[in-house]
Structure 1
């Protein structure tokens, strides 16, 4: 055969065999059940365009606030007992799971939904990979998946009380029919209101080569989103729900996760020469048998579980932190080639434990495990799970260097997720700003408290002996797309203009929160954030719940509500600017003047003579007076133009005698004019002199001088270099 004919025949054969190949890969596909079981009430799925919630949750949502007097930290809904065995040569996990779930609703439940996240990596037909191909600005490091490197999860059995359940794959967000990241399980027996049921599930994982969040590279295995996980049944008054609904979205390119709190009891079996790290506390001594070792980890009051195993891990670095709720064992797992990273990651984790415990609330768990990924598996870095996260890796740990800053920041960021994604349980599908954005904001507050600015010094800059120092929040502001925001901060994770627009969830949220803090005052913002955490820990708050906590805690509801209306719920753009500045002497003019009760005509010559005489006398009396300060006052006129969102701010006018005056800028129309008569001539006018309006799209037009100044070019350079940093930070943390 000719080669072209052979290729055509091979392609035809492959097309014919594709259904059989798919069935072989996923033999668990139970007979489809397209409709809900007969006689059962239908519980709808959350809408495919669900996003930021505007209506606050009910006071008793999720069982009401956790006061600390309850028997458990969370209102536990699920319990997972899992036995998992890793085959590191084939990169597979064989699992048996019992899942016990409680029906919190007031109606019987006949079908449940499970997330099968690993199927996002099963091939080009998944929602995840479809969106990755369509992404114009890339995703993480864009490592390609090659033949033999795909991954999937297969259901082999689902049974309830010994009876086999039927299941079918669904696409709640109207994704491709080939997506298998969500499955509906039709139960043989309904679950009564308030009752619990247990599902026995056998499953099999083929881990992918790690390209994002989970998978393997050589002997290194990061096993995340690896087991069948039940979706969240939301009730009326919870995150805007008006009736019971299943919150079960597909695994999108940018979406992460959302699940109920519960208990995890997991036994992990690996070859005996493998080191394991995982969510939670290790219970009992590892059990060795037949060249394999089984490790048991247990953790209550979390909503996910992940683990890692590698035969190349060095001896873990371990330290105990004396937290307010008792000692916390802090562990860093790392490969030999990144031994220099272990101590900085350990210290940053301990510092974060201390900072978050003091500023939000006490860390409630007994362990915190950080993993430094090996060379070649950087894509596994920057990922968070309860009590367990992956950091960055770098060859340069010199204090003050950009790589060291990134190592520290990614560690702080991924630990911080343990609060905003973990303890607060934000819905990362629909409201990613509550996790990624709020976490970024609090992380940069910590980096600021650490006095850890970014220092940009490229090789040619080192040769010239120059460098640029940029504060963390300046970096965030310059990466926040303030000039042209495409999507509201409150938009969901998948329905966005681009990956770059999704990236502003981090930087634009951090910038908006920093502006609220500047306008209400730091002590008020800190009170509000503590209130938010205390009220909503272990309860899955919405954007509206955050808004109301900030409004109440700061005591400035008008400022908070305006910011949320402008930036969270819409694409508000702020760009106040100085449109004009003039300052002229106020001199007497010829004409009729009132004098001793009658009108007196004063001519030009007389006026000029009087002006000269007064100036001469004033100069003699003030021989050291500065230029612009004289015998006559000056009338200064400043016009401020206001575009789109108009937050309150300050106009500061500087005068030639060294003084300045501040004026409130509050007009809600497109301009505001200020006319000031003062003893000296104005030299400049500046909006927002105290740097409170962080969302201003262009700071270069916020100031104006009567004489040209060279500072603008330097400010352009600063903005450019800070933008480079913001892009690097985004790449590491998305």
Structure 2
């Protein structure tokens, strides 16, 4: 998800109590008082650093949900087949009802109140969201007690098991529930006849090597899910158009009916999956339709529906680049749904005249005429080149009610259509959707990485800046002749300076901190997005261009459709880079700091070697800041720059150059490839005698 730069303060009506629940101690597994703020051991990765001995649970869902537009509610029944692949006996299941975050009484609302945001705290019925069981869940046919240990927050559910679940065994859990999004948009919403169901079903928590990982949904942090298959039938009014995770195997999603002139006809990819089970019998009221979606190798299912959507589609054709342990489709269906009724829809949002015009632009103008389709194809090409082949039969991008964007497997809910947002959110289909980290515990692994790959795609990273400066060979690379490059360097240097200020003032927090323990949502964003992006920028510089590219592709090939943690990423980088990197990940994930080195005591000596003169330049490099880095040091002569790399594990070291020309300058990081805010202070003039 892309971070939001501002929050709209909404004046809304008064509170209702959360779903009733028995009082329990407000402590969840892995959140006890002594639980580490930052992980100190691997939650999923074996000591070997590879997938040998790796295990994860499996969760397969079958759901039928009927939308009643009059009250904005879905009524649903479903089953979860849960397979215990762990070596432990389980005596309970933990489940999330995340839609209950967007209402009074939730921990999300309490966080908003504490940080001065008014969104859901004072909503009255029917404006707040909810997800409620309409009957007690049944496990293997036996009714179980529903416990809400964080009451009045009801986003976390404990289901005690009457019969323990042994390793290798499975249980079937039957659910019946209703769900309603809120009228205040945040990741989910409803407005008029339009609905964004991002969170809407009882989602089983992850059980990994550390045990159960349930978490209350709060503004900071997102999700962690078990992989499996979804078989979801949506019963909708006949004129609705729906986009979702998965492929529609039966029923009409409505694309052909609302297709824009000139668009390719919808390619539904209904035959993408083999061995699709027979559909269950579904009651379809008069004036409704049933659309069945199948999705495999996913850990979430989301959907959006509106009669106001317009459809544009195409096919993305590519040849698989290598062998993977999962299927690759050579033709990927690309679906885009945006608002043909933008003027009417935006008028319902009670916006100012200028904001309403912007709303129409972000709902219609930016999308139509193939613009959003082109952005999606470009993003797919870029991400396949960066990580590897896209492993799903389709991708759908929908215009959601909320601003910014949120990612789901095979589905992007975006508030606007820009290349940067599409690259960022589709990047999350890889880092979160396929490489499934715990976003609530390690948001830097997906938000930081997707932010950095967005920078790379735009050509705005330090590594690319340094390569351009090296090619230009300007005598003063801090003020390059190319205006665009000069502006980029100034912008990147400003960002590094801002982050250094937060460290100096003591407001920076380690990026590896658990999301709900950051002091504020703003602090969380600054850490997992901005500092996380800087971490990958630094890792790119440490590994070098070719090795960094191989690292990303091997990380993807080895860990796709698995849970990843810091140790999976570190082991891959070490294996590909053929060096130990514990020092790098320790400092960036567990600590705060800056890359700060001092260049001192330069000496120039002229020597005669084999009848030729050489100039020997020596200087002392000393680490001053908290972070280590293989700092580049450069000497300038009449023909250009000579740059060497130093040892990051030495606090004090001697750097030496042997040159065939007289040097006149010694600079620390002349091309600006590092995140050091102080390197500019060490641009030393050398004596020319």
Give yes or no for the alignment of 1:111 onto 2:101: no
Distance in 1, matches of 2:399 and 2:386, equals 27
Give yes or no for the alignment of 1:168 onto 2:147: yes
Partner of 2:72: 91
Alignment match of 1:295 (pick from 291, 295, 299)? 291
Deviations 1:458-485 (A, max 9, x none): xxxxxxxx99853799389548724434
Partner of 2:153: 179
Distance in 2, matches of 1:547 and 1:479, equals 27
Partner of 1:571: 592
Alignment match of 1:257 (pick from 223, 226, 234)? 223
Distance in 2, matches of 1:313 and 1:89, equals 19
Deviations 1:128-171 (A, max 9, x none): 122222337x79xx799754432121122212243321011123
Contact 1:120 1:127 in 2 (8 A): yes
Shift of 1:429: 1.2
Shift of 1:643: 2.5
Contact 2:231 2:293 in 1 (8 A): yes
Contact 1:440 1:510 in 2 (8 A): yes
What are the within-5 Å matches in structure 2 for residues 232-631 of structure 1? 232-235=206-209, 241=210, 245-286=211-252, 289-322=285-318, 324=320, 325-326=328-329, 327-336=331-340, 337=342, 338-342=363-367, 343-373=370-400, 377-379=401-403, 381-393=404-416, 407-448=418-459, 469-470=487-488, 474=492, 477-478=495-496, 481-485=499-503, 486-503=508-525, 504-557=527-580, 560-578=581-599
Shift of 1:210: 4.0
* Secondary structure of the corresponding residue to residue 134 of structure 2: strand
Deviations 1:584-615 (A, max 9, x none): x99xxxxxxxxxxxxxxxxxxxxxxxxxxxxx
Task: Describe the shift of the 1:421–1:156 C-alpha distance in structure 2 as closer, same or farther (beyond 3 A).
Answer: same
Task: Describe the shift of the 1:654–1:280 C-alpha distance in structure 2 as closer, same or farther (beyond 3 A).
Answer: same
Shift of 1:661: 5.1
User: Which structure: larger Rg?
Assistant: 1
* Secondary structure of the corresponding residue to residue 311 of structure 2: coil
Deviations 1:497-527 (A, max 9, x none): 3333322312222222222222322111111
Deviations 1:336-357 (A, max 9, x none): 2433322332222212222222
Partner of 2:360: none
Task: Describe the shift of the 1:516–1:144 C-alpha distance in structure 2 as closer, same or farther (beyond 3 A).
Answer: same
Give yes or no for the alignment of 1:222 onto 2:196: yes
Provide the alpha-carbon RMSD of the alignment.
Answer: 4.0
Partner of 1:156: 134
Distance in 1, matches of 2:232 and 2:216, equals 25
* TM-score of the superposed pair, with normalisation by structure 1: 0.70
Distance in 1, matches of 2:431 and 2:617, equals 53
Distance in 2, matches of 1:469 and 1:696, equals 18
Contact 2:394 2:410 in 1 (8 A): yes
Partner of 2:624: 642
**Greater fraction helix:** 1
Deviates more, 1:284-293 or 1:156-165: 284-293
Structure 1 unaligned regions, length at least 5:
1-13, 37-42, 67-73, 172-176, 236-240, 395-406, 454-465, 587-630, 708-734
Task: Describe the shift of the 1:570–1:202 C-alpha distance in structure 2 as closer, same or farther (beyond 3 A).
Answer: same
Structure 2 unaligned regions, length at least 5:
1-12, 253-281, 321-327, 343-362, 466-482, 607-612
Task: Describe the shift of the 1:471–1:129 C-alpha distance in structure 2 as closer, same or farther (beyond 3 A).
Answer: farther
Give yes or no for the alignment of 1:195 onto 2:169: yes
* Secondary structure of the corresponding residue to residue 371 of structure 2: helix
* Secondary structure of the corresponding residue to residue 529 of structure 2: helix
Contact 1:52 1:542 in 2 (8 A): no
* Secondary structure of the corresponding residue to residue 64 of structure 2: strand
Task: Describe the shift of the 1:676–1:303 C-alpha distance in structure 2 as closer, same or farther (beyond 3 A).
Answer: closer
Contact 1:372 1:392 in 2 (8 A): yes
Deviates more, 1:470-479 or 1:640-649: 470-479
Partner of 1:685: 666
Contact 1:345 1:391 in 2 (8 A): no
Shift of 1:496: 1.6
Distance in 1, matches of 2:575 and 2:149, equals 41
Deviations 1:236-260 (A, max 9, x none): xxxxx3xxx1111211221100011
Shift of 1:386: 0.5
Contact 1:46 1:246 in 2 (8 A): no
Distance in 2, matches of 1:188 and 1:246, equals 18
Aligned length: 579
Distance in 2, matches of 1:652 and 1:63, equals 41
Partner of 1:696: 676
Deviations 1:360-392 (A, max 9, x none): 22211101000123xxx343x310111001224
* Secondary structure of the corresponding residue to residue 283 of structure 1: strand
* Secondary structure of the corresponding residue to residue 506 of structure 1: helix
* Secondary structure of the corresponding residue to residue 430 of structure 2: helix
Distance in 2, matches of 1:220 and 1:698, equals 51
Task: Describe the shift of the 1:452–1:492 C-alpha distance in structure 2 as closer, same or farther (beyond 3 A).
Answer: same
Distance in 1, matches of 2:138 and 2:49, equals 31
Contact 1:258 1:427 in 2 (8 A): yes
Deviates more, 1:256-265 or 1:444-453: 444-453
Distance in 2, matches of 1:518 and 1:438, equals 14
Contact 1:118 1:181 in 2 (8 A): yes
Shift of 1:431: 1.0
Alignment match of 1:26 (pick from 6, 14, 19)? 19
Deviations 1:707-733 (A, max 9, x none): 9xxxxxxxxxxxxxxxxxxxxxxxxxx
Task: Describe the shift of the 1:705–1:178 C-alpha distance in structure 2 as closer, same or farther (beyond 3 A).
Answer: farther
Shift of 1:683: 4.4
Partner of 1:462: none
Task: Describe the shift of the 1:360–1:681 C-alpha distance in structure 2 as closer, same or farther (beyond 3 A).
Answer: closer
Deviations 1:510-547 (A, max 9, x none): 22222222232211111122221122111201101111
Contact 2:584 2:628 in 1 (8 A): no
Alignment match of 1:651 (pick from 622, 628, 633)? 633
* Secondary structure of the corresponding residue to residue 517 of structure 1: helix
Contact 1:428 1:435 in 2 (8 A): yes
Shift of 1:196: 1.2
Partner of 1:606: none
* Secondary structure of the corresponding residue to residue 178 of structure 1: coil
Task: Describe the shift of the 1:265–1:248 C-alpha distance in structure 2 as closer, same or farther (beyond 3 A).
Answer: same
Distance in 1, matches of 2:551 and 2:464, equals 25
